[in-house]
Amino acid sequence: MNEPIIKPIEAIIAETRKEIQPFVFKRLEARTPRKAGEKIARTVTVTSGKGGVGKTSLVANMAICLAQAGQRVIILDADLGLANIDVVFGIRPRYSLMDVINGDMKLDEVMVQGPHGIQIIAGGSGVSELADIENEKAQRLFNQLRFLEDKADFLLIDTGAGISGSVISFCQAADQIVVITTSEPTALADAYGIIKIISNRRPESHVSVLVNRVDNDEEGIQVHARLARVAGEFLNFTVHYLGNLPQDRNMHIAVRQQTPLMLFSPMSPAATGLRRIVSQSFYETPENLPDSGGEGFFTRLAKLFKGGSAQQ
């Protein structure tokens, strides 16, 4: 009898779990026993100084990599002006974060399940800045958002592009910040701009750069080296290197098909590179990340808005 043929996607999931498992154990061993009610979700804010660099697509595919490795993942689309994480997944949520802000729905009622158990909260539209929300609505929103911190291993925050007050506040409150850029001069200038503001607002922030759409590894390394050198010299700030992803026509096709690349073409160059980045870089021990002081992400975020730190 012939041996059963393993479906490619199943083999990929098994391989990803095998690659990531040692990092999971390392993280668990390094973590001190948590107190009852203490938040455990790792919050990763993914941002970019410039639009059009592939940020939202990468958030979706990072989430799938983590979920395939057995992690509980929630994506929060924090771009209330041009939210589109739902478009990348090809889903049409009936409700969004705006319904929570307006008090019409509870957070768990607007969450939509994506592939591999990923939970997605669509951003909606109608408010360009969280800082513009009335105090009563803001308090209602943050009380609801705190619900997320005990419901996931990873909370991925997809911000809007640029350096608005809301974007910077989401970055300040995060455990880890990933800045997406390309090698284009305008993208590099805008990436440096957001790194500069983050370094001034919260010098202990852990910022990593992911260089998208490179022709080769050397190009990505050089882009990071340039940003890291300028940040070190003028800001006295460390910029870590998350890695780079190649130009991959499969990514463009996947976006048009409204299917994340990890599902559309899991063996493509960009998908393979992203699995490697996630497995190697998303399980750093707590000592390498800023001390949260025992506070959850949304507690820190609420303080930033209340204290006016989100204002430019």
Q: Which two tokens stand for residue 17?
A: 């779990």
The DSSP-derived string for 191-246 is HHHHHHHHHHH-TT--EEEEEEEESSHHHHHHHHHHHHHHIIIII---EEEEEEEE
Neighbouring residues of 80: CB distance < 8 A, sequence distance ≥ 6:
97, 98, 123, 124, 125, 126, 127, 128, 129, 130, 160, 166
Q: Is the model more confident about 124 or about 23? A: 124
Tell me, yes or no, whether 94 lies in a domain: yes
Q: Is residue 269 part of a domain?
A: yes
Decide if 139 is inside a domain: yes
* 84 assigned to some structural domain: yes
Q: Which domain does 281 fall in, by range?
A: 40-179+252-287+295-301
Judge whether residue 7 has pLDDT over 70. no
The CATH number of whichever domain residue 90 belongs to comes to 3.40.50.300
Tally of domains in the chain:
1
Residue 264 lies in a domain: yes
273-311 pLDDT, tens per residue? 999 999 988 876 555 677 666 678 888 888 877 654 444
Q: Does residue 23 sit within a domain?
A: no
Residue 70 within any structural domain of the chain: yes
pLDDT in tens, 147-173: 788 889 999 999 888 888 888 888 999
State pTM to two decimals: 0.83
